[in-house]
């Protein structure tokens, strides 16, 4: 008796593995210029803090693009990352392991701006 499509499933799995290997490490795409990425959970509190932080970053460094949640964010996350054109990334702030209380997860905007300027110069 012939098998029922097992070979086909194996071929599909091999193609899926090959497709995964083509993506850059960390799931981030290569950027042409330095970019600041803010990843935050979709809760209202996180959104308000991300908006205030992105506004401060845009005022201090208007030439630098700021992206908020370019991909689906992780639960409970609040991170600010600088992506460089050479493919490297620098974590400016992470609030994942901070708290309770919840307010410890969010940075003061001036702290992040100061850290950003340190890594840009």
Say what percent of the chain tops pLDDT 90. Answer: 18
With tokens 């969010």, the residue in question is: 106
| The overall pTM is greater than 0.75 | no
pLDDT in tens, 44-68: 777 778 888 889 999 998 899 999 8
* Per-residue pLDDT at 104 exceeds 50: yes
Residues 78-104, mean pLDDT to the nearest whole number: 86
Q: What confidence tier does 101 reach under pLDDT thresholds 50, 70, 90?
A: confident
Of the ranges 24-38, 42-56, 61-75, which one carries the lowest mean pLDDT score?
Answer: 24-38
The number of C-alpha atoms within 13 Å of 26 and in the hemisphere containing its C-beta is 10
Inform me whether the pLDDT recorded for 16 exceeds 60. no
Domains of the chain (ranges, CATH numbers): 35-111 (3.40.30.10)
What is the rounded (10 degree) CA torsion for 84, 88, 93, 98? 160
H runs (alpha helix) in 23-99: 44-60
Mean pLDDT computed over 5-29? 46
Task: Say if strands 78-83 and 35-40 run parallel, antiparallel, or are unpaired.
Answer: antiparallel
């Amino acid at each position: 008796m012939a098998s029922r499509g097992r070979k086909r499933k194996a071929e599909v799995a091999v193609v899926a593995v090959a497709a995964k290997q083509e993506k850059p490490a960390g799931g981030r795409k290569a950027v042409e210029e330095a970019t600041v990425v803010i990843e935050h959970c979709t809760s209202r509190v996180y959104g308000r803090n991300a908006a205030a932080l992105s506004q401060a970053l845009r005022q201090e460094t208007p030439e630098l693009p700021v992206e908020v949640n370019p991909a689906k964010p992780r639960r409970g996350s609040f991170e600010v990352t600088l992506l460089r054109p050479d493919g490297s990334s620098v974590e400016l702030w992470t609030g994942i392991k901070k708290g309770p209380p919840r307010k410890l997860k969010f940075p003061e905007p001036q702290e992040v701006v100061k850290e950003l300027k340190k890594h840009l110069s």
